[in-house]
Amino acid sequence: MLTDILTSALLIISTIAIYQIAVVIQRKVAALWLNPMLVAIAVIIPIMLWQGTSFEFYFKHTQALSNLLEPAVVALGYPLYQHLKTIRYHWKMFASVLTLGVIIVILVSFILSMALFYIPEVAIALSYKSVTTPIGIALTDASGGNSAITAFAIILAGLFGALLGPSWLTHIGVTSAKAQGLAIGAGSHALGTSSISKISYEHGAYGSLALIVSAVITALIGPLIVDNLVLYYATAT
């Protein structure tokens, strides 16, 4: 018991220290690609491989950090509150767009994964890459997927949205703060939303809206879509 506590403390403190060092480096260098999350991953993974530490072991002993994702998501609700009047007026449109987005993401992710790998566990895991980590992992486990892949895919989706999302959307002509917030919140969850919140409160509000609504919709209809896709591929072979 004591050994487990000491191991958890060491891993958590080390993870936080690496992340904070990365924050200091990014502030000094002012380079977008030096995202603290990305730098921390680039440092932690080689150390884990060198020490022979599995993802399951690391995840188990740093569960306290994962649990902090839930209050972090709640904190993103403040800018959402600031634009609540406008959101309430257009809620049907937002709900429709986000529901369609969730369905497309799950279908495309699953079908492409099966076309490339033809491994149901991987396809299931990648289908839930666009929701926050606790929900994505829970849904993957319930559907029989590989939660380690889901966790990694969620991090990648968040990083790509945080690093490239706003510039890419602007490049293709999507300049509205509402549209950018909805797109990045739906596709890159909390990490992307926290990043675009630095652009404006409006970006953060609609990112938070997409993050929350997409997570709820995914939890409600995701298993139904994924389970039917798994059944279809199982009977088709």
Q: Are residues 155 and 210 in the same domain?
A: yes
> Which long-range contacts (C-beta less than 8 Å, at least 24 apart) are formed by 60-64?
61/4, 61/7, 61/8, 61/11, 61/12, 62/8, 62/11, 62/12, 62/15, 63/8, 64/8, 64/12
pLDDT at 223 over 90: yes
Backbone dihedral angles phi then psi of residue 167, each to the nearest 5 degrees = -70, -40
Judge whether residue 2 has pLDDT over 70.
no
221 and 106 within one domain: yes
pLDDT-derived band at 13, boundaries 50, 70, 90: very high
Boundary-marking domain end, from 67, 87, 122: 67
Identify residue 191 by its one-letter amino acid code.
L
CA distances from 90 to 76, 96, 102 (A): 20, 10, 18
Residue of 65 and 102 predicted with greater confidence: 102
DSSP 1: -
Q: Which residue carries 């022979």 as its tokens? A: 52
Spatial contact of 125 and 156, defined as CB atoms under 8 Å apart: no
What's the mean pLDDT in 32-43? 81
92 Cα distance to chain centroid: 24
Token pair in block for residue 236: 């088709």
Asked if 84 and 172 sit in the same domain, the reply is yes
Q: Are residues 63 and 85 in the same domain?
A: no
Residues 123, 178 share a domain: yes
Same domain, 44 and 144: no
- Cα first-last separation, the chain: 48
Regarding whether 150 and 91 lie in a shared domain, the answer is: yes
Same domain, 61 and 114: no
pTM assigned to the model: 0.77
Q: Could you tell me if 55 and 119 lie in one domain? A: no
Closest CA to 122 of 201, 2, 226, 12: 226
Radius of gyration, alpha carbons of the chain? 18
Q: DSSP for 67-135?
A: HTHHHHHHHTHHHHHHTHHHHHHTHHHHHHHHHHHHHHHHHHHHHHHHHHT--HHHHHHHHTTTS-HHH
Residue 196 confidence (pLDDT) above 90: no
Q: Are residues 60 and 82 in the same domain?
A: no
Residue where a domain stops, chosen among 67, 98, 118: 67
pLDDT, residue 183, reads 92
Q: How many domains does the chain fold into?
A: 2
- Among residues 67, 86, 108, the one where a domain terminates is 67
Q: Strand, coil or helix: what is 174?
A: coil
In terms of domains, do 17 and 109 share one? no
Rounded CA-CA distance 70/2 in Å is 27
d(CA 213, CA 98): 7
pLDDT, tens only, 126-162: 999 989 888 899 999 999 999 989 988 998 898 888 8
- Residue among 198, 220, 194 nearest 207 (CA): 194
Note down the domain range covering 14.
1-67
Q: Taking a C-beta distance cutoff of 8 angstroms, is the pair 203, 177 a contact? A: yes
| Domain shared by 51 and 114, yes or no | no
Nearest to 26 by CA among 162, 117, 136: 162
